[in-house]
Amino acid sequence: MQDKNTAAGAPSNDDKLVELGVAAAAAAIRNGDITSEAYASALLRRAREHAGLNSFITVDEPAVLAAAREADKARAAGSTAPLLGVPIGIKDSYATAGLRTTLGVSNLKDFVPRRDADVVAALRDAGGIVFGKNNLVEMSFGLTGHNGSYGQVKNPYNHDRVPGGSSSGSGAAVAARIVPAATGGDTVGSIRVPASLSGVVGYKPTNGRWPAGGVAPISHTLDTTGILARSVEDCALLDQVVTQDTAAPTSRRSGLRGVRFAHAPRQYMKVIDPEIAAHFTAALERLRDAGAEIVEIDLGDDFMATANRLTWSFFFREMREAVAQFAAANDFPVTFDEIYRDIKPQLKAIWSQVVVPGGPGYLSEDGYASALSVERPQLQRRLGQVFTGNAADALLFPTTPCPAPLIEHGSDFTVAGHQVDDRFLAYNTVPTSGAGLPGISIPVGLSTGGLPIGLEIDAAHGEDKNLLDLARRVESLFGTLPAPA
């Protein structure tokens, strides 16, 4: 029903509120322009309206409203906390005290942790509110957003399409304006892939920059926590809150004149959807027009094959031990074997091949040791040369080689005439993960079918502040995508 005070066609107050990002909402609450309760209420109504996206497993509405009222009291008492009264979505691989945490598996459908994950604790300490637990692929193991126990997450721009994964619900909820930001986890691209396919910003920090305590792991070598939001500004604010790193970027400047970008088309555009290629080429031209220098580099014939083989090896080889240790250390009442027993058949088939010791594809001890001590350092050196030998400020590439595939196609689909499986969605993001570099995906447009297209910007190891500052300047050329219809 239309508010009698809202003219036909004019945005309602709810519409205005849900468009607020993290920084804007926090400032409006601190300034007294809006209340946290009004903001949270608008987001909760939005969540109910868009329940069909299946972006959340759990939302405790009374708890959200109670926390919002407490934030308003704190504001009245003089609090200026950086996230005061702002609700944030939490991927359901993060432990949340007092709110059930399933890791996306049926074994934990009733489990409520006693302690928050470190990132959740940092967000709460800064005044943030836990809005709910975002749906994800079981144990964060997958890229399409399908969950056998809690259902398929849908892409807000086209409900017949996948949203990406494994941080599926996080990307969909942010794009749909249900929350201004949501946490994610990235092992091979699980923040950047859903950011690209769902049309939001996804920031993967340098490995080790964000704490991982209380977050279900896959690979201690590759995993990093991170964030999905609708602007680089919000990612930078949340990075500062979580890391307590208040230092200014060392290379802060205005505009892009003097910035040197590298791109490697032989490696990152070998098999690519024509529309993705066209948008990427247009993005490079826009960056040139803004004064940036664009240099084409070649990372070698074996680069992508080596990076993908190495990174997926860690992904599969480290999971069983990592999950077992996590469950025991964090009092999760489940074992890896119990999870394996009850997961969906498609996942069990994969795990039996490459995750469970004795499987035909399980990496040997010698192979694992070589990957850690020889092959990964080689990958890190090769990517490091992009920023040293080529003196590039950042490496650019299409985040995903295609727009969001159809849900009905499952794990197999066609890109530019090539049959691929769902791992292809992370083909471009995998090297960044393998080397532990920071990367951020920003939306740069929509396909002719109305599907989001992402551009990834990577920086050298540890250069997160400079990456965020540079991404903010790039983002200013492209703006944000319109809300899904």
pLDDT digits (tens, 9 = 90+) for 216-246: 999 999 999 999 999 999 999 999 999 999 9
Q: Known catalytic residue: 91?
A: yes
C-beta separation of 232 from 440 below 8 A: yes
Q: Which of 243, 269, 285, 259 is nearest to 478 (CA)?
A: 285
- pLDDT category, 2, cuts 50, 70, 90? very low
Of 66-80, 189-203, 240-254, 400-414, the least confident? 240-254
pLDDT the model gives residue 6: 42
Position 2: which residue type? Q
Alpha helix segments (H runs only) across 301-375? 303-317, 319-329, 336-342, 345-354, 365-370
pLDDT digits (tens, 9 = 90+) for 366-396: 999 999 999 999 999 999 999 999 899 999 9
Task: For 264-319, give the secondary structure using H, E and C.
Answer: CHHHHCCCCCHHHHHHHHHHHHHHHHCCCEEEECCCCCCHHHHHHHHHHHHHHHCH
Calculate what percentage of the chain has a pLDDT beyond 70: 97
pLDDT the model gives residue 1: 32
Helix, strand or coil, per DSSP, at residue 142: coil
Q: Which of 36, 93, 140, 166 is catalytic?
A: 166
CA distance 329 to 212: 13
H or E segment and range at residue 466 = helix 464-478
pLDDT at 12 over 80: no
Sheet holding 181-186, edge to edge: 56-58, 129-134, 87-91, 181-186, 224-229, 201-204, 439-446, 452-458, 394-398, 260-263, 293-296
pLDDT the model gives residue 471: 98
DSSP code at position 249: P
- pLDDT category, 4, cuts 50, 70, 90? very low
**Across 312-328, average pLDDT:** 97
**Across 45-63, average pLDDT:** 98
pLDDT the model gives residue 485: 87
pLDDT the model gives residue 409: 95
Of 3-12, 91-100, 112-121, the least confident? 3-12
- pLDDT category, 9, cuts 50, 70, 90? low
pLDDT the model gives residue 215: 98
Contacts of 410 (CB under 8 A, 6+ apart): 144, 146, 422
**Across 28-38, average pLDDT:** 98
**Across 166-173, average pLDDT:** 98
Q: Which of 55, 91, 219, 231 is catalytic?
A: 91
Calculate what percentage of the chain has a pLDDT beyond 90: 94
- pLDDT category, 254, cuts 50, 70, 90? confident
Count of Cβ atoms closer than 10 Å to residue 292 Cβ: 23
**Across 474-483, average pLDDT:** 94
- pLDDT category, 3, cuts 50, 70, 90? very low
Contacts 24+ apart (CB under 8 A), 105-110: 105/138, 105/139, 105/149, 105/334, 105/339, 105/342, 105/343, 106/148, 106/149, 106/342, 107/334, 107/338, 107/339, 107/342, 108/332, 108/333, 108/334, 109/149
**478, burial (CB in 10 Å: exposed 0-12, middle 13-18, buried 19+):** middle
User: What are the φ and ψ backbone dihedral angles of 458, each rounded to 5 degrees?
Assistant: -115, 150
Position 266: which residue type? R
- Decide if domain 13-478 falls under CATH 3.40.50.150: no
pLDDT at 5 over 70: no
pLDDT the model gives residue 252: 66
Beta bridge pairs of residue 421: 412
Domain boundaries, the chain: 13-478
Residue-wise DSSP of 79-118 = ---TTTT-EEEEETTB-BTTB---TT-GGGTT---SS--H
pLDDT the model gives residue 249: 87
Contacts of 289 (CB under 8 A, 6+ apart): none
Threshold 0.85, pTM exceeds: yes
C-beta separation of 199 from 447 below 8 A: no
- Bridge pairing between strands 129-134 and 87-91: parallel
Q: Which of 55, 167, 168, 190 is catalytic?
A: 190
pLDDT digits (tens, 9 = 90+) for 416-458: 999 999 999 999 999 999 999 999 999 999 999 999 999 999 9
Q: Known catalytic residue: 411?
A: no
- pLDDT category, 305, cuts 50, 70, 90? very high
Q: Known catalytic residue: 251?
A: no
pLDDT the model gives residue 480: 87
**Across 323-344, average pLDDT:** 97
